[in-house]
Amino acid sequence: MWDGIVIGGGFAGLIAGIRASERGKRILMIAEGTGSLSSSSGVFDIGPIPSLARLEKHPYSYLEPQNIQAAVEYFRSLLPEYEKCEGESSLVLTPLGSCRTADLMPMGLKAEALIQSKEIVLMAPEGMKDFFSRVVKENLEKEFPQSRVEIYPFQVSAFAPWQQVGKAVNGLEFARFWRTEEGIETLQKLLEALVRYIRNQKEAAVVFPGLSRVFNKPLQKLLAHFPCPIIEMTDIPPTFGGEILYDALKRKFKEFGGEIILGSGVRKVDIQGKNCFQVWVKSKGSDSNFQAKELVLATGGSSEGGSKRLRME
């Protein structure tokens, strides 16, 4: 018998599973998919906790402000490469080059350096799906009127076969490529050419779509040696930010001993009175059943009830 079963493998389910597993509990997670994480940017809008907690029907209203703050700090203890904004929210760039604010984000997305820049170099990877360099340039010029914005087109030879057969290359594929050995070598040569291109490095900044350095030491080391700030952008679903966050949380869950049944939904839950005592999982053959002391229902998000904890017999 398991100590606990978590139904749902999205953000809520993974955090619940990690929290229980690190306390020494034997936890089984049952999930049909990754939830909404694969469509998220990986950026969190926390907002003013005390005031939002007072709003009726807001998710914060179910918790005390100190508990919400503790949850944020707990998340950062799990994933310290996420940056928390102290005081006012930070700027991040949307896929169209406009600005939005956020409170918790993967490293590389903070766009404050653009406020001080006099020159913005917009990297424009050829053939990148749903990336419109002219639109992004216009929006950057509106957001940062003190800067001259220049488009820097470049090709990635690794994607030439894709383009020859008309296969689209989205930001997700670019982000995956930069994390490979070939991608690191390609990026290093690209950055060396970029250094020669930028006229005044002290007043310049680079905006780079389809790039994500979080959870990747070789990329971080390479970008850290570049003389100008390199600002990443959020992307259009399916997003790499959501994918890499999901992978990081799933890896944490497994490190603490948690086990996952992925791709199988729960067919039914046997209930006696107010107590659940058995979970039935869909299978190609006969259905499988699992028993646990407690059940966490982590499906549907806060709009549909969010996470619920039920005691099992």
Domain ranges of the chain: 2-81+243-311, 94-236
Q: What is the mean pLDDT of residues 48-69?
A: 84
Question: 2-81+243-311 with 94-236: one CATH topology?
Answer: no
- Tell me the whole-structure pTM to 2 decimals: 0.88
* pLDDT score, position 68: 87
- Report, in angstroms and rounded to the nearest whole number, the Rg of the chain calculated over CA atoms: 22
In sequence order, what DSSP letters do the residues of 165-192 get, joined into one string?
Answer: TT--B-HHHHHHHHTSHHHHHHHHHHHH
- pLDDT for 121 beyond 90: yes
CA 87, 220, 201, 143 torsion: positive or negative? negative
Q: Which of 35-44, 83-92, 207-216 has the highest mean pLDDT?
A: 207-216
212 and 232 Cβ atoms separated by less than 8 Å: yes
* pLDDT score, position 209: 97
- pLDDT for 224 beyond 80: yes
* pLDDT score, position 300: 66
- The pLDDT tens digits of the residues spanning 250-278 come to 999 999 999 999 888 888 888 877 777 78
Q: What is the mean pLDDT of residues 140-165?
A: 95
Q: What residues does 295 pair with on adjacent strands? A: 5, 310
* pLDDT score, position 255: 96
Class of domain 94-236: alpha beta
Please provide the average confidence, as pLDDT, over all residues in the chain: 89
First to last CA, the chain: 11
CATH of domain 2-81+243-311: 3.50.50.60
